Amino acid sequence: MANIWKKKDTAGQTERLPRHIAIIMDGNGRWATQRGLPRTAGHKAGAETFRRIATCCKDLGVEYLTVYAFSTENWKRSAEEVGAIMGLLKRYLLEAVDSMERDHIRLRFFGDMTPIAPELRALAHETDEISAHLPAGDFQVNVCLNYGGRDEILRAVRCFAAECAAGERKPEELDEALFSSCLDSRGIPDPELIIRPSGELRLSNFLLWQCAYSEFYFTDTLWPDFDETELKRAIEAYRQRDRRFGGVKK
């Protein structure tokens, strides 16, 4: 695909292409209900959209794509729906084990994996091992599974507190960089752009620490209908934003 999105400016920088895009993949249930289908059919369609959008981000030259697949709150749904989502994730991971080396896609998980079924955890472990052997510059997908921004922060705090109690760290050492290195997203730049389809105007516990200066893009399109054109529209909107980070425009 001709990469008009990655044109370089005079300083040789990629012109306002986000290095890291994060997406709240929302609206699967409504998409299915509108068609008289079970909610699980929406998740299946959403999984296809995820595959397409991940490829599209990679082709555009985005370095990191983080997707919200299952939140710490999504356990409230029926066992059937949760099972269907986990089944789709399993299918994606089985595919990934065979294709990520060929396609140069690294995979990482954000979230607490302890309550995840052993079979899925083993597959995630396998994709972690493959990712570790792929070059650091390869496109990376972060899948948020049993992820909550508050839970991520609490786990980081617990870990740091335990190191202090063990005498390995001192509380006054803690700064933003050290705290960031305790999070699931350690080593990854904060997302410049967060996209939420489906018309909801909230974060639903997504990347609470990392979103401090993210630009937000909301669209009414339901996730299964989200496509390359929508993605480019979101990036174009991001490019028009005036990012000041608390400073004053020169």
Give the residue numbers marked as catalytic: 26, 74
List binders of Mg ion among 15-74 (CB under 5 A).
26
Please report how close the Cβ of residue 26 comes to Mg ion at its closest, in angstroms: 4
Q: How far is the CB of 106 from ligand IPE (least distance, A)?
A: 21
Nearer to Mg ion, 40 or 140 (CB): 40
Say how many Å lie between the first and final Cα of the chain, rounded: 36
Choose the contact partner of 30 out of Mg ion, ligand IPE, none; CB within 5 to 8 A by kind.
ligand IPE
DSSP string, 53-120: HHHHHHHHT-SEEEEEEEETTGGGS-HHHHHHHHHHHHHHHHHHHHHHHHHTEEEEEES--TTS-HHH
The amino acid at residue 59 is D
Report in angstroms how near the CB of residue 22 gets to ligand IPE at its nearest: 11
- Say if residues 197 and 219 touch (Cβ distance below 8 Å): yes
Question: With CB cut-offs between 5 and 8 Å by kind, which of Mg ion, ligand IPE, none does residue 142 bind?
Answer: none
With CB under 5 A as the rule, give the number of residues binding Mg ion: 1
Residue 204 within binding range of ligand IPE, rule CB under 6 A: yes
> Residues with Cβ < 8 Å from 70, sequence gap 6 or more?
82, 85, 86, 89, 111, 144, 145, 146, 147
81 binds Mg ion (CB under 5 A): no
- Candidates 18, 27, 111, 148: give the one binding ligand IPE (CB under 6 A): 27
3-state SS of 157-180 is: HHHHHHHHHCCCCCHHHCCHHHHH
30 binds ligand IPE (CB under 6 A): yes
Would you count residue 85 as binding ligand IPE (CB under 6 A)? yes
* Helix H or strand E encompassing 123: helix 118-133
Least separation in angstroms between residue 74's CB and Mg ion is 9
Contact flag: residue 145 with ligand IPE (CB under 6 A): no
Q: Which residues bind Mg ion (CB under 5 A)?
A: 26
